[in-house]
Structure 1
Amino acid sequence: MAVKIRCRKTGANNDPCFRIVATDSRAPRDGKSLEILGWYDPKKTKANFHLELERIQAWQGKGAIISETVRSLIKKARTVPMAAPAPTTTSATPEATPEKTARA
């Protein structure tokens, strides 16, 4: 069975939304899928997609073929800066700095 990662159309007329799915390549576009890997909403301007990159890499490691549309979404997901980690706080005491000796 050849597995393909592609978009499955959901949503209403004139308001499309897509799910990124791993499915049998012989199955119809909106047919049964093996796993849902994310979503894509082309009408939104900000944060219009979400992908589970770890699961996509796992399927790709098993030999899944990725469609061109999903491939472009993966490129966008990797170029979008991730959320910065929360700053860690250190102890309230300042670190000791070595003092320079004055020459006379």
Structure 2
Amino acid sequence: MAVRLRLTRFGKKRQPYYRVVASDSTSPRDGKFIEIIGHYAPRSEPSEVSIDNEKAVKWLLNGAKPSERVEKLLQISGALDEFKKAKAERG
């Protein structure tokens, strides 16, 4: 089972709100997921990003691949830097 870190959409019409989740790569966008890692609200000013870096690093170390957008969000939250440090320490 290949795991992806990606966004699932919530909210009303024209008012999107996203969850950052770990899910099976074959499941639909808004389908089943394994774990919620964070939230992303693009319409608030400034946009709101809330990611649990500990969970994100755990999934990345276990081989999960982030989508392009989630990779940018992880970079903003600092989880990508923590992942690179942890990967370097592992060897």
TM-score (norm 1): 0.72
Q: Which runs of 4+ in 1 moved over 2 A?
A: none
How much identity, in percent, do the aligned residues show? 37
Paired residue type of 1:18: Y
What's 1:31 paired with?
A: 31
Query: Using the alignment, how far apart are the partners of 1:76 and 1:44 within structure 2?
Result: 16
Query: Using the alignment, how far apart are the partners of 1:58 and 1:75 within structure 2?
Result: 15
Secondary structure at the residue paired with 1:58? helix
What's 2:58 paired with?
A: 58
Provide Cα deviations, 1:45-83, integer angstroms capped at 9, x if missing partner.
1361100111011001111011110110111112xxxxx
Provide Cα deviations, 1:4-53, integer angstroms capped at 9, x if missing partner.
00000011101000000000000000001000000000001136110011
What's 2:68 paired with?
A: 68
What's 2:22 paired with?
A: 22
Paired residue type of 1:68: E
Gaps of 5+ in 1: 79-104
Structure number with the higher strand fraction is 2
Secondary structure at the residue paired with 1:46? coil
Structure number with the higher helix fraction is 2
Q: Which has the larger radius of gyration?
A: 1
Count of matched residue pairs? 78
Query: Using the alignment, how far apart are the partners of 1:34 and 1:40 within structure 2?
Result: 18
CA RMSD in angstroms comes to 1.0
Gaps of 5+ in 2: 79-91
